[in-house]
Every structure is written in C-alpha cells, then in structure tokens.
Structure 1
C-alpha cells in the first residue's frame, strides 16, 4: 500500500470513528454554552446506543432506530435539567449519577428484552443487514485520494457535519443563539433583558441529550452492530475533552473530535506503516491517555462560559 493510499485510508477511518465523538462534543456544547455542565454525555451516548440498536432490531430500519435514539437521549437528559436548573443540584454529581444509571439501565433492559443476553443481537448477521450503510457521492467519490477520504462515508458523518454548521449558525447568527450564550455568560443580565433563563437552559440540555444519543446510536449502527455495556466505552468523556480542546466552539469541537479519531484510525493502519509489532493494547489506550494530556495542557487556557456550572436563582444578585 502506497503512502497516498495510507493517507486516504487514514482520513476515511478517522471520519468513521470520530463521528460519534463529534455528536457527543456538539451535545456537550449546547448544554455548556447555556451554563449547565454536562458530564452525562457518556450516559446519554449509552442510552442512544441502546435505543438505536433495540429499536432498529424490532423496527427493521436503522433510521427509525437513529431517530428514536435522539428522542430517548432528550428524555434521558430531562432529569439532569430538572436537577441542575430547577433544583440547583451540583451539576457534576448529577451527570455522574446519570452515567452510572445509563449503563445499569441499558444492561438490565437488554437482558430483560433478550432473555438474559448481555448484549443485543448482531444487526449485521442474518439475511439482511440492519446497519447504516456507507454512501458514495456520485462523481466526487471517484476523485483520486479525496474521493475515498471524504466522499465515501456513513451518512451520519455528513449529518454531524451539517449539524455543526447549523449549531454555529444558531449560536452566532440568531437571536435564540444570543440568548443561549447570554444565559451561559451572564444569566442575571439575560433575565433582566426578559430572557427566560430556566427555559433556555432546559431546551439546551434536552438538545444536548439528543445530540449525544445520536452519537451513541452511530456507534451501534455503523461499527459495533449491537449494544452492550462496553459499546460507548468512555467515548463520552473523550467527547468532553474534545469540547474543551475546541474551546466551546462548534467547529473547534468537531475538529478536536477528529483529532482524537486519528488515534483510533492509526491502529488499523499499523501494519502498513511499519509498526505492526506495536501491541494493539498500547494503541487502544492512546485515546484515553491523549484525553488526560489535552485536559492537563488546555484546561487552563480554554475559558468556559462564565456561568458554566453555576445554578441561577431568579432574583439573586
């Protein structure tokens, strides 16, 4: 395999494995831009993976499963919104609790639905695959190097890139986006100007849950082909690191998620770049090690929204 082909494959595989992280990072962005810290991205992705796999299995359509996952993610985010916004609980503790709940609930329901089995049936087995298939964009996919790299991908990759642009436009070009950013920076000033701080934060957290759940569904419907307790495997936390690395900006967060995806892509190309002797266990732990490095290196340089993590009490000074 030539260096040209390796480079094309690297970009292609990076997009495959970074897509779920992009969804998770965008999900975290919506919540934290409104001032609500969302540590529960991991749990929301888990619920999305569970719902996507189970609904797809019974409905016979991965797109019905994908949409159902988004709805389930928004519903699962509701307790976090209630605890954080209405009852002003510690947002980090609420998020961590939801992460544990998601894994336990997903595993329990999986065993309940599938006669004690620890994972859902394989969606790629049998006569008809229920997986989301890759698409080739006519003409563009035939372009040397760039065709395979960018224009032969899962539809979810194009969806998340479109949502990135929509998120950017809403946050920075619309009155609704201005309200979200104002609530995340100066909720008292926003309240004085007539903005319903509670409503904005509720909507942002529910949107966060829907986006993150789509990331989990992407994992189940494109790469793992099923749901188990290890389907998400910490990728929600990596998505949060990408959000910080991207400085709470839609384009930056997606680019950072792609950066993390490169590490996963590399392990598939080791034999072709002369590093086939490197143990896969070492490569598999690199995304998590890289997460720690990014957090240590950038947490002090990236400035979160000023009111992030601070409950708002109407009428307070």
Structure 2
C-alpha cells in the first residue's frame, strides 16, 4: 500500500478521532451550585469595605492607577452576572448544545473577581496585587502544564500515564545534580534541563516496556513507578545529596529574562514576559504539541493509534512502536518540566518536592478534555488556586487558612466532576493492543 493510499485510508477517521462531547446538565448545575454558595457566603459575611486592585507593579514603565471598588456592590453584581451565565448555559443544554469553553472561562473569571473582592473588602490591607498574584500563579502552574502535556500525549496514543509524578520528580532530582556538578551560571542549568528530559524518558521507557510489550496493567505500572522514583530520590537525597549539598545540591538558578517592551505591559508583562528560559520554552512546547496533534501527519497517526489501533494497524501503522516512542516523548516533556522545581523555583532538591503535582496534572488532562490548550488552561486555574492562599494571607484576609490550603484540591474535584460534563477520552486508552 502506498503512502498516498495509507493517507486516504486513515484520513476518513480523523473526524472520529476528536474527543466526543456529550451534552450534559453537569455544567449548568455546577454553575448554579457555585453561584448559590457564593451568594450565601456574601450574605452571611457582609464585608462593607472597599477592595483595591493594583494593576501596575512599581517597576512597570507604564503605570495605571489602582482600581478601587465598593465591596458589596461588586460582589453582588458578579453574582447576578454568574446567575445570567448559568441561565445561558442551561438554555444551551436544553437546545441540545454543549456549553462552550469561553462561557466556562468567563464564569470562572467573574467568580474569582467576586471572591477576591469579598476577601479584600474584609482584609486588614484591602489591596490585591494583580501582577504578583498572576505571576505567582503562572510559576506554580509550570510543572502542572508540562505534566498535563505529558498526559495528553500519552493518553492520546493509548497509554494511561499515572507515572507523571515520578517523571517530574526524576527530572527535578537529575537537573539539580547535573547543574550542581557543572556549576556555571548558564551551562549548568541548560545541561541540567537536557539531563532532566533524559531522566523523564528513562522512567517512560520502563512504563512503555511493561505496558506495551508485556501488557501489564498500565495503572499498576504507573503507581509502582511513582513509588520507585520517590523511594530512590529520597534515598539518594538522604545518603548522597544532603552530606554533599555544596557539590551536588546547589544548582545555579536560571535568571529571569525580561523581553523588551512586552515585559512593561501592565499585568501581562510581569506574568508572561519576565520569566525564565523554562517558561519561555513552555510557551513553545504548548504550541508545538497543539499544532502537532491536530495539524500534522504525526498527530493523526498518534490519535488513530489511541482511538482505533486495529484500524491503524490495518493501514500499516506500527502500533507498538508509535505508542512506545510517543510515551517516551511525553516522558521527556514531563522530565523537562520537573527541572523547574530545582532550576527555576526552589534552587535545590528536596524529598518529594513535587507534592502531588503529577496527579493534579492528570486532573488537568481530564478537565481539558485531552486537548493541549484546554489542559494548559486547567493547569493555570489550579496554579491560581494554589497561589491565592499566599496572597490572601499577606493582605490579612479573614478566610480561614485551612480552607485556603484545601482550595486547590477542591477546585480540582469541582473541575473534574462538574465543569467538564460528560466526555469520552481516547477509546483505546489503557487497553493493550495484541496484534491478531
């Protein structure tokens, strides 16, 4: 069969390879519950003060005056808007149409504005520094985004990757050691990034070998790999890194590189364009994965293997090889993202420093409907929820610290259980393919 005939044989399946969305009442019901809960919160704890949103950081070339709003007026206005969006989503579902992503994003943004206004109006210092809040949220989202991209590629090709946590942790450990040994300001971290990607590939090799070649249950292999990597890194940290911290656990951190002009834009500049090399690479990788999955021959073959491997095999695609190499590519992305912990954030390796980021990344994959852009947005939401506790504690908000600590996980549960609605992932994900 020629390459042309192969292309035509596979191409008719392309429409079927897209994730199938089933119209569901979950989104309107979730909107209604969240709107009611916020309304009840605002009614029971009426904060009569003002909230101030600081738009510009002191070092910004363009200075914009702070935005001061009346607390009760803004919160109840947001509640009314949320109620209207809830009604709109219900009307769409009644018309047998799915709730679009932009409506979910708009509802989420309005809800966050309402919550921030309420929290600031009752705080000792009612100032919400938006540049710091958003820049911090992006930093906390970086490992989640890399992990989510890893999960999207793996599951799209038919392999459930529970080992994202282990791949992130392996990347963090390896990058710290390699960058510390080399030691130079730029050379050490750059080589450490590549070493982190290699370590992620090695973990992925083990997952691929057992899941694809020996047909071991993919979830079990992933869980075992997570435990193995946690155990190995903890052992080497205690026995090798801790006694030789100066030599093996003092990696140079990547400096921030502000992009001229763009970095001076209020809010957007500090968040997106005053970042490290890892974050700039993340922008490129997100775009490449999206374009590759949906606009290239590689992506079509990958999705065909994850959706209908028997049909892909019939037209000459090597299913096992396609799965193996794409799971390895996903591992490289996760390992690269794990390096952010040591080279971009903390500056040293610590035991279990990923703290469950791999599992939240898996939730972002489901929330994002196995789409790179949507999964990235979901990861940003989870990162924002994690950073919100830091900001509210600084301004002296009356929100209990215990609630803020559990907020990222509450958002994760609500996102997966509520906002997604009914969604069918790749049909062959988690199912070993045995050639007839």
Instruction: Give the TM-score taking structure 2 as reference length.
Output: 0.67
Asked if 1:169 is matched to 2:296, the reply is no
1:90 Cα deviation (Å)? 0.5
Q: Compute the displacement of 1:161 (Å).
A: 1.6
8 Å CA contact 2:148, 2:379 repeated in 1? yes
Residue 32 of structure 1, aligned match among 141, 152, 155: 155
Q: 1:117 to 1:233 in 2, by over 3 A?
A: farther
Does the Cα contact within 8 Å between 1:110 and 1:119 map onto a contact in 2?
Answer: no
Question: Structure 1 residue 300: deviation in Å?
Answer: 5.9
1:55 corresponds to 2:178: yes
* 1:72 CA displacement: 0.9
Query: Is contact 1:71–1:210 with CA below 8 Å preserved after alignment?
Result: yes
Q: 1:148-163 alignment to 2 at 5 Å?
A: 148-163=270-285
CA contact (8 A) 1:224 1:231 kept: no
Contact 2:170-2:338 at 8 Å conserved across structures: yes
Distance 2:434 2:189 in 1: 42
* Pair 49,119 (structure 1): closer, same or farther in 2 beyond 3 Å: farther
Contact 1:11/1:150, CA 8 A, preserved across alignment: no
Aligned mates of 1:226, 1:252 — CA distance in 2: 31
Instruction: Work out the CA distance in 2 between the residues paired with 1:153 and 1:52.
Output: 19
Match of 1:260 in 2: 382
Q: 8 Å contact 2:181–2:248 — kept in the other structure?
A: no
Q: 1:202 aligns with which of 324, 335, 341?
A: 324
What is the number of equivalent residue pairs in this alignment?
309
Q: Deviations over 1:226-248 (max 9, x none)?
A: 11222100000000101111110
- Structure 2's unaligned 5+ residue stretches are 1-51, 57-128
Deviations 1:231-266 (A, max 9, x none): 100000000101111110011111111111101221
Residue 414 of structure 2 corresponds to residue 293 of structure 1 = yes
- For residues 298 and 120 of structure 1, what CA distance do their matches in structure 2 show? 48
How far apart are the structure 2 equivalents of 1:295 and 1:231? Answer: 24
Residue 36 and residue 70 in structure 1: after superposition, are their counterparts in 2 closer, same or farther (change >3 A)?
same
1:84-95 equivalences in 2 (<5 Å): 84-95=211-222
* Structure 1 residues 169-248: aligned runs within 5 Å: 169-248=291-370
2:411 is aligned with 1:284: no
Alignment of 1:15-164 (within 5 A): 15-60=138-183, 61-114=188-241, 123=250, 130-164=252-286
C-alpha separation between the residues in 1 aligned to 2:414 and 2:144?
17
User: What is the root-mean-square deviation in Å for CA atoms of aligned residues?
Assistant: 2.1
Once the two structures are TM-superposed, the CA of residue 271 in structure 1 deviates from its matched residue by 4.5
| Deviations 1:190-224 (CA, angstroms, capped at 9, x unpaired) | 00010000000001111111111112111121222
Contact 2:368–2:378 at 8 Å: present in 1 too?
Answer: yes
Which deviates more from structure 2 when the two are superposed, residues 262-271 or residues 26-35? 262-271
Q: Which has the larger radius of gyration?
A: 2
SS of 2:385 mapped into structure 1: helix
Give 1:59 deviation, angstroms: 1.5
How big is the shift at 1:150?
Answer: 2.1
1:47 and 1:10 map into 2 onto residues whose CA distance is 29
**Rounded Cα–Cα distance in structure 2 between residues aligned with 1:236 and 1:72:** 15
Other structure's SS at 1:302 match: strand
CA distance in 1, matches of 2:164, 2:328: 12
Structure with bigger RCO (C-alpha 8 Å, 6+ apart)? 1
The whole-number CA distance in structure 2 between the counterparts of 1:86 and 1:36 is 12
How far, CA to CA, are the matches of 2:193 and 2:402 in structure 1?
31
**Hey, what does 1:127 align to over in structure 2?**
none
In structure 1, the gaps of 5 or more residues are: 125-129
Where 2:55 maps in the other structure, the secondary structure is helix
Give the whole-Å Cα distance in 2 for the aligned partners of 1:190 and 1:298.
33
| Paired residues of 1:185 and 1:307 also in contact (CA < 8 A) | yes
Offset at residue 122 of structure 1 (A) = 5.5
**What is aligned with 2:427?**
306
Give the whole-Å Cα distance in 2 for the aligned partners of 1:145 and 1:295: 29
